[in-house]
Structure 1
Amino acid sequence: MSNYQSSEIKLINTSLIDPHPDNPRKNIGDVTDLAASIKANGLLTPLSVVPDRSRYRVIAGHRRLAACKQAGTGSVPCFVLDLDPLQQLEAMVTENCQREQLTVLEEADAIQGMLDLGATTASVAHRLGRSGDYVRDRAKAASIDNEVRATRDDFSQLTIGQLVAIARYDGQPDRQKKLAQAAGTSNFDYILRNIERDDHNQQWIESVAALLKNADGINLIPDPEKPYSDPEWRYLGCMFPSAGTPEEVIERIREQNPAAVSIHMEQVYLWARRDKTADAEKEARRAAEQAERDARRHALEEYAAASADKRMAWLHANLHGIKRAQLIETTARLGLLQIIDPDPQGYTRALSTWNDKCGAEQFTTISGIEPERALAELRYHLDEPDWAVWAVQILAARIEWFIDPEDWTTISDTSRRIPGYYQILQDLGYTPTDDETNHLSQLIAAISEADSDENEENNQ
């Protein structure tokens, strides 16, 4: 307000002063205590107003105005300012931001209002004393339409990170509503990563389709209406986004040299010419079973990647806020979980082997440190008082590196450690999603069944 402050004070009757319709702060709250104070001591700080024909509009002091009216105050001292619409909005935003009275969404809408009135991102950032990215993020959040905002009563309380993530899917209200409902829960990051993965898969198949149309020597055919009982084509298999980049997929297709390929949803189907003398029913059944196995494998790969991303994102965001004593205990538990591995080289390789990707990628995700700096940072911090948080990051990265999608369905030395690993994470405060809980329950049941079968064999 200082840049716009007037040195002249005028007494104005409160009946002639109105709240500003563009005030960024939508809810001024309860002013009962403030009204009592004004009634007893008078208004100590003048309002700032602008003329509005024969009336006035408040620029700074909406709560004081409401309290004065509630207290029955007649005339109040006011600074009368001469501001254009953009200056009025700038002044109100600055006033509220300085007093930390705006929600993120209120501030976002106000910033967008300033931009709509002709202000530049740089000028708004300068006026608020913020960065350009700060202003741009809030402008993105302001783009979320009212239909999405109405999905929850506390939408205005969401964080800027959640709002920017929701705004990213402008024009896709179903996705925005789904994210809005999950905001503030452990499912938010999981749902966001699934949406991002769906987009990646869609982009992948579009790129593959474009390459196939121009690929010499590859027979691209329309997807058969009955893929497992087509009279001409016999199903050989399919390729998912996990098969590699679009260019790598084209090379793999050339290596396998199928008679034809087709685009099926987000997959590439491979075909051979059907042998007319073969048993069609047997072949169709085999193809259907293979497709089902492919789909299950793909779904498992998707789940394993999403759950690993969620675990490591949580560790990155929360480890530094956990008490040192609990981190030391966690270090011991993670260490015990790993050193009992029957392969003595499994979890205990020297840090130098990280050049062979023995946990380096996972450590980078959890710690936020680039691989080339990891060894130097670790060797320094493991001799410092904060060694515990770094030890937890190392040990968690090793476990994450060992867990493969098959470990969720196949009983192995690694899969037997997954339930223990989750228990350690939950004791730190991690909350599994419903999907993780279901997979975990199935894995524990499978381990129990395998142990029971082994005991029966030993007793015979």
Structure 2
Amino acid sequence: MSNYQANEIKLINTSLIDPHPDNPRKNIGDVTDLAASIKANGLLSPLSVVPNGERYRVIAGHRRLAACKQAGTGAVPCFVLDLDPLQQLEAMVTENCQREQLTVLEEADAIQGMLDLGATTASVAHRLGRSGDYVRDRAKAASIDNEVRAVRDDFSQLTIGQLVAIARYDGRPDLQKKLAQAAGTSNFDYTLRRIERDDRERQWIESVAALLVEPANGFNLIPDPSTGTPEETIEKIREQNPAAVSIHMEQVYLWTRRDHAADDEKEARRAAEQAERDARRHALEEYAAASADKRMAWLHANLYGIKRAQLIETTARLGLLQIIDPFPDGFTDALTNWNDHTGSREEYEKITGITAEDAPTAARISLQTNDWPLEAASILAARFEWFIDPTDWTTVNDTSRRIPGYYQILQDLGYTPADDETSHLDQLIHAISEADQRDEENNQ
């Protein structure tokens, strides 16, 4: 769970263990299946708890605790830790981030909680294995008031970019609500640019107004009536104070009006272009999900029928394909870490038919039998499927460079790509070749 060492491990009745009030994850979800598994097999992984008077608070294992209580489990094994409040929050944030269970907003609130308890940005970044900017962005997102968060039920699902943009207008809930309502749609960028432009104009007008009202300048500030045509407005200002208007002010005023119209045209074009990009991204996401399901369905239906010798060769090829990690603890993450990670369990279930909950136990048992090549190939394929993201089909990176090799391995086993897969694969191979050529030219 963390680098914190347990002082002791002991059996504690679940009736004496409470959820931690500062748990970053606000919704633990449905634990019915987990409760059934615990009822049948017992709790395989101990909980981590801290003393709280005569009771205990869970640090790691909130879902397991809820499942144990639902299953009617009595005493369960627990690691008893001695942690101060900051360490407790650090441990919960670290565990949840490793499991990828927190929404961006939950993580942001938890990080702000750590900062409130005295942690520095650098220490939080080090603890989470993230950059300082990563921590600072989430601290900004945590500043968004509940009044703004209540604008939509799915506010916690917004991206960090959207949240940072909303947080930028702290103290102006009207603008924050407008941005929150537009988030997740093609209108978000358009709305943000309009607000940014209006804000720049407001600041410019305020600075000019401050200059004009200085007694030493000899100018009087006349408010814009904002009615009629520009010519009618200027005439009205002349009527109020002829000495306050010059040909230069008319030119600035008329330019500002025309600039608004030009900006509106640009914004409309940008909004249309963004909508087109969103549509392409949505289509790509649908394709990536469909092609992944197709591959794993084929593996589920055919992998068990492959000869043992070919499975051993496939395992070696998949292992070599994944041997250079895109990032630490990536493709070759130890099998024992399945207790702490959800990564690739769902893909493993689609390939083997074994439930994600039972994946670690089933995998360990199968790897000790004569059928280990089938199990190893299933695990490695599941790990690779887990890492493929829709953007990997259009962006040259460590993962995308492995996709052609992965398809070659599948085709050698008998898999036949569909036409759309072949088309996307050809485009990706072409993009990789171009990127390699650019790198070679830059290095000459």
Structure 2-normalised TM-score? 0.56
Q: Does the 8 A contact of 2:121 with 2:135 survive in 1?
A: yes
| Counterpart-to-counterpart distance in 2, 1:234 and 1:154 | 45
Please show how residues 86-165 of structure 1 align to structure 2 within 5 Å: 86-165=86-165
Change (3 A) 1:305 1:30: same
Q: Report the 3-state secondary structure (helix = DSSP H, G, I; strand = E; otherwise coil) of the residue aligned with 1:206.
A: helix
**In structure 2, what is the equivalent of residue 16 of structure 1?**
16
The whole-number CA distance in structure 2 between the counterparts of 1:224 and 1:7 is 71
Which of the two has higher C-alpha Rg? 1
In structure 2, what is the equivalent of residue 68 of structure 1? 68
Q: Which digits, 9 at most, give the CA deviation of each residue in 1:110-162, with x for residues without a partner?
A: 00000000000000000000000000000000011111111111110000001
Instruction: Name 1:197's counterpart in structure 2.
Output: 197
- CA deviation vs aligned residue, 1:261-307 (integer Å, no higher than 9, x gap): 39xxxxx9549xxxxxxxxxxxxxxxxxxx9x878634412302323
CA contact (8 A) 1:89 1:110 kept: yes
Indicate the percent of aligned positions where both proteins have the same amino acid: 73
Distance 1:131 1:319 in 2: 31
SS in 2 for 1:92: helix
- Residue 261 (structure 1) aligned with residue 260 (structure 2): no
Name whichever structure is richer in helix by fraction.
2
1:2-401 mapped onto 2 (5 Å cutoff): 2-6=2-6, 8-212=8-212, 220-223=219-222, 235=234, 259-261=243-245, 269-270=249-250, 297-310=258-271, 385-386=430-431
Whole-Å separation in 2 of the counterparts to 1:132 and 1:7: 32
Is the 8 Å Cα contact of residues 22 and 89 (structure 1) preserved in structure 2? yes
What root-mean-square deviation, in Å, do the aligned CA atoms of Structure 1 and Structure 2 show?
Answer: 3.7
Q: Within 1, Cα distance between the matches of 2:283 and 2:224?
A: 56
Q: How far apart in 1 are the matches of 2:38 and 2:4?
A: 25
Q: Is the 8 A contact 1:148 1:180 kept in 2?
A: yes
Give secondary structure in 2 for the equivalent of 1:221.
coil
Question: Could you say if the C-alpha distance between residues 67 and 309 of structure 1 is closer, same or farther in structure 2, counting changes exceeding 3 Å?
Answer: same
Partner of 2:411: none
> Kindly tell me: are residues 130 and 295 of structure 1, through their superposed partners in 2, closer, same or farther at Cα, counting changes over 3 Å?
closer
SS at match of 2:245: strand
Asked if the contact 1:6–1:79 (Cα under 8 Å) also holds between the matched residues in 2, the reply is yes
1:88-118 superposed Cα distances (whole Å, 9 cap, x missing partner):
0000000000000000000000000000000
Distance 1:228 1:23, change over 3 A: closer
Deviation string 1:248-270 (CA, Å, 9 cap, x unpaired) is xxxxxxxxxx95339xxxxx954
Cα contact 2:8–2:81 (8 A) shared by 1: no
TM-score of the superposition, structure 1-length normalised?
0.54
Aligned length: 281
Instruction: Give, in angstroms, the shift of residue 385 of structure 1.
Output: 4.2
Deviations 1:352-405 (A, max 9, x none): xxxxxxxxxxxxxxxxxxxxxxxxxxxxxxxx9459x99xxxxxxxxxxxxxxx
Structure 1 pair 320/203, CA: closer, same or farther in 2 (3 Å)?
same
Secondary structure in 2 matching 1:118: coil
Kept in 2: contact 1:228–1:234 (CA 8 A): yes
Q: Give the direction of change, closer, same or farther, for the CA distance of 1:219–1:19 in structure 2 (3 Å limit).
A: same
Contact 1:221 1:261 in 2 (8 A): no
Gaps of 5+ in 1: 239-257, 263-267, 272-290, 324-383, 391-460
Cα displacement (A) at 1:174: 0.9
Measured in 1, the distance between the counterparts of 2:118 and 2:106 equals 19
CA contact (8 A) 1:260 1:270 kept: no
